[in-house]
Structure 1
Amino acid sequence: MAPVIYTLYGFAILFFVFWCGKWIVHLIALFYGKWKLHKKVTQLPCETPYPGVSILKPLMGVDPNLFCNLETFFTMNYPVYELLFCVEDKSDPAVMVVMQLTEKYPTVSSRLFTGGSNVGVNPKINNMQPGFKAAKYELILISDSGIRMKEDTLLDMVSCMTEDVGLVHQMPFTCDRDGFAATLEKVYFGTAQARIYLVADFLRVNCHTGMSALMRKALIDEVGGIEAFSCYLAEDFFLAKSLKERGWRMCISSQPAWQNSGVCEINSFQARLTRWAKLRVAMVPHTILLEPLSECMVIGACASWAVSFLFSWDPLVFYLVHILVWFLLDWILLSIIQNGSLPFNKFDFVMGWLFRECSSPYLFLHALWDPAIRWRARTYRLRWGGVAEELKPKVKV
């Protein structure tokens, strides 16, 4: 029996130490978020010229918010930038939206590229390749179609691009929208996602998502341009990894990325989370063990058993207190990131928070059970290390 007892003690100590570490993560995210986010944007000194920025906008299809999202890029308060719209299919209705905006804002430098280039398996890079090659400025901003900008967002990002920084990215967040799905998205991006993102930036760990990222074009050209990352679906992660390996620093800007997609549904959001989980498992395999343990309900249950075994504490009381404190810290973190009044009441937050926490382990298990990644109309399989191959539909004879 002695080996069994020692093994149980080992697991109990491991769970308890990991549980304590999660509270350190919570506190770092709270204090770092309060210090880092929503700083007042300062103008560059008069003698310092503003670097030009080429903004790549890969587009596919039209949603109800596309026009207003793209319009915010035409009205930014920044002196030197160009808009490079990339559309894979010439008949895509997004082309008409771009043409309407270019006619409405003729003084803003903008170009439209259609057709893309087949340089690899990643459809986003294939779409952006012509625009990237035509970009004329030293800084490149890759921005997804669902991103909405404030007038000073670009200035905020450029001001973070100091001499030792190679990439400035925005922490994912969402605009205020109506409905439970919108509440669920804001709760996720303002709690679980924000916590990891802020701590990763504090510790200078690669946690980059490519929905809104400003980078030095020369550094990408050094390794062969964006087509060098076209063998990956998570090109953002490997691009950031390449910069980090060459000694460049990455940081988040003080403004989060305001996602404002016109399609806001629970099923599509959960499919997105599942796809991200599949990518993380392929790129960083140790997340198979660490990610489930990072969830409130899972680590709380493990820690409750651990303290009952080690200290003879009441596991049920411990578990309920654990959930309550985690919940309160998440509310505080979300309020910091929102930087204003939340668009829902506390009851809506409770429902959204509980739904997200309870469904997260299921989504992760689903990602492990079905590793194929479905992205729009395409299906991919990932090898260990993140290299992707497209699975072509079988042709019936």
Structure 2
Amino acid sequence: MMPIVYTVYGFAIFFMIAWVCLWLIHIMAFSYSKWKLHRTVDRSPPEQPYPGISIIKPLTGIDPNLLSNLETFFTLDYPMYEILFCVECEDDPAVMLVQQTLQPKYPHVDVKLFKGGKRVGVNPKINNMQPAYLSAKYPLVLVSDAGIRMREDTLLDMVQHMRDDVAIVHQMPFACDAEGFAAVYEKVYFGTAQARMYLCADFLGINCHVGMSSLVRKEALDDVGGLAAFADYLAEDYFMAQAIVSRGWRMRVASLPALQNAGSRSVGALQARLTRWARLRIAMVPTTTMLEVLSECLPLGAGAAWAAGQLFSAEPLAFFLVHVLVWFLSDWLMLRSVQNGSPPFTKVQFLLGWVWSECCAPFVLATALFSPEISWRTRCYRLDWGGRAHELKPPHTQKL
């Protein structure tokens, strides 16, 4: 009988420790966000000229926001940069958008267009970008996804974080303001759960690199084999950062978040994306699976409520309800900090988006665990432990 009692108390202590640790993460992330995010960009003339930047933009097709997103890169307040557009297919409609709309409107911006890519592995994004990367002429390379919208001072902000010992400055994923429940869900997720872990990882020096908007020293990336060295990984950004940091470099998060601005939003598309990311994390770092479950509000609250009843004779239901309420309020404060003000929706809309996000999180993780294949656009992949990918259904007409 005694071993069972000890086992029960052991689990209870484990849940209470996890609960306390998660609240410390809440406090750490919120405090760090107030210091780190949305700092004023220094526009005074620098002592040394700012280095040139090669911006690599991989494109695939056109969505309703693509033109306005790309145009923000033509109006950046930065002295010297080039934009290298990449398309996998020569007849991609994005080619016409760049050549017939943007280049004539901004003839002073240095623009090059690369068609067809170069196959160096299974990752289609790296295959698409490889020719542009080899042609980049500046010491800093910004890899920026098509759906990113930039403030005019974003490059200045990122470069000012690029200290002598820093090789990667990346933006924390967030979302542009938009209408509809899917937009609320997206902003709630990226402004609370994602932001909390991202900021804590940066503060603690843990690799949290997401490459949707990432400024890299080209010499540091070349030293670990360039983009091609990571072409057999779908999470190339994580492994790229890991390799560069292993050489003694540091990486930092910029103060301005990356503004994702996809032309079409849907709840299903966002959940599919989050599931894909979860599958990648499980394959890369399998030990994080249990920790991910305990980082979610509802599973952690249920476990902690049971533990509080066992250890302190607390009423589990009351404990759970207070836990959820305080978590909800802390997430509201976290979102306001990441947004740098009030979000573009009401508290009732936030409540609905927050409840949906929290209720769906365990199911997203469960789907990732029991369905290991990854679908990415028209391709399908399977991951080995460690993150290396194999394409299951290669397209018959691929031109790489």
- The secondary structure found in structure 1 opposite 2:216 is strand
Query: Take 2:198 and 2:314, find their aligned partners in 1: how far apart are those partners?
Result: 33
- The secondary structure found in structure 2 opposite 1:77 is coil
Alignment of 1:104-183 (within 5 A): 104-183=105-184
Moved more, 364-373 or 46-55: 46-55
Shift in alpha-carbon separation, 1:44–1:129, aligned structure 2, 3 A: farther
Post-superposition Cα deviations, 1:221-271, rounded to whole Å, max 9, x if no partner, equal 112210000010000000000111111111101000011010110010000
* Residue 19 (structure 2) aligns with: 19
Do 1:380 and 1:389's aligned partners in 2 also have CA atoms closer than 8 Å? Answer: yes
Do 1:44 and 1:50's aligned partners in 2 also have CA atoms closer than 8 Å? Answer: no
* Residue 51 (structure 1) aligns with: 51
* Residue 300 (structure 1) aligns with: 301
Do 2:379 and 2:395's aligned partners in 1 also have CA atoms closer than 8 Å? Answer: no
Query: Take 1:46 and 1:251, find their aligned partners in 2: how far apart are those partners?
Result: 20
* Residue 265 (structure 1) aligns with: 266
Partner AA of 1:87 in structure 2: V
Do 1:37 and 1:254's aligned partners in 2 also have CA atoms closer than 8 Å? Answer: yes
* Residue 83 (structure 1) aligns with: 83
* Residue 339 (structure 2) aligns with: 338
Query: Take 1:47 and 1:355, find their aligned partners in 2: how far apart are those partners?
Result: 50
By how many angstroms is 1:44 displaced?
Answer: 5.6
* Residue 72 (structure 2) aligns with: 72
Query: Take 1:249 and 1:134, find their aligned partners in 2: how far apart are those partners?
Result: 25
Do 2:297 and 2:358's aligned partners in 1 also have CA atoms closer than 8 Å? Answer: yes
Partner AA of 1:209 in structure 2: V
Post-superposition Cα deviations, 1:331-390, rounded to whole Å, max 9, x if no partner, equal 001001101231100000000000000011011101111010000000000000000000
Post-superposition Cα deviations, 1:27-79, rounded to whole Å, max 9, x if no partner, equal 00010000000000003644311100000000001100000000000000100
Moved more, 32-41 or 332-341: 332-341
Alignment of 1:1-397 (within 5 A): 1-43=1-43, 45-99=45-99, 100-392=101-393
Query: Take 1:348 and 1:79, find their aligned partners in 2: how far apart are those partners?
Result: 42
Residue ranges of structure 1 left out of the alignment (5+ in a row): none
Moved more, 335-344 or 152-161: 335-344
By how many angstroms is 1:2 displaced?
Answer: 1.1
Do 1:87 and 1:116's aligned partners in 2 also have CA atoms closer than 8 Å? Answer: yes
Do 1:170 and 1:213's aligned partners in 2 also have CA atoms closer than 8 Å? Answer: yes
Post-superposition Cα deviations, 1:87-125, rounded to whole Å, max 9, x if no partner, equal 000111111111121111110000000000000010000
- The secondary structure found in structure 2 opposite 1:38 is coil
Do 1:44 and 1:159's aligned partners in 2 also have CA atoms closer than 8 Å? Answer: no
Query: Take 1:388 and 1:285, find their aligned partners in 2: how far apart are those partners?
Result: 15
Partner AA of 1:265 in structure 2: S
| TM-score with structure 1 setting the length | 0.98
Shift in alpha-carbon separation, 1:346–1:138, aligned structure 2, 3 A: same
Partner AA of 1:190 in structure 2: G
Do 2:158 and 2:215's aligned partners in 1 also have CA atoms closer than 8 Å? Answer: yes
Shift in alpha-carbon separation, 1:212–1:394, aligned structure 2, 3 A: closer
Partner AA of 1:139 in structure 2: L
Query: Take 1:289 and 1:272, find their aligned partners in 2: how far apart are those partners?
Result: 20
Do 1:52 and 1:81's aligned partners in 2 also have CA atoms closer than 8 Å? Answer: yes
Query: Take 2:45 and 2:252, find their aligned partners in 1: how far apart are those partners?
Result: 22
Residue ranges of structure 2 left out of the alignment (5+ in a row): none
| TM-score with structure 2 setting the length | 0.97
Kindly report structure 1 stretches of 4+ aligned residues shifted beyond 6 Å: none
By how many angstroms is 1:393 displaced?
Answer: 6.7
Do 1:66 and 1:146's aligned partners in 2 also have CA atoms closer than 8 Å? Answer: yes
Do 1:88 and 1:127's aligned partners in 2 also have CA atoms closer than 8 Å? Answer: yes
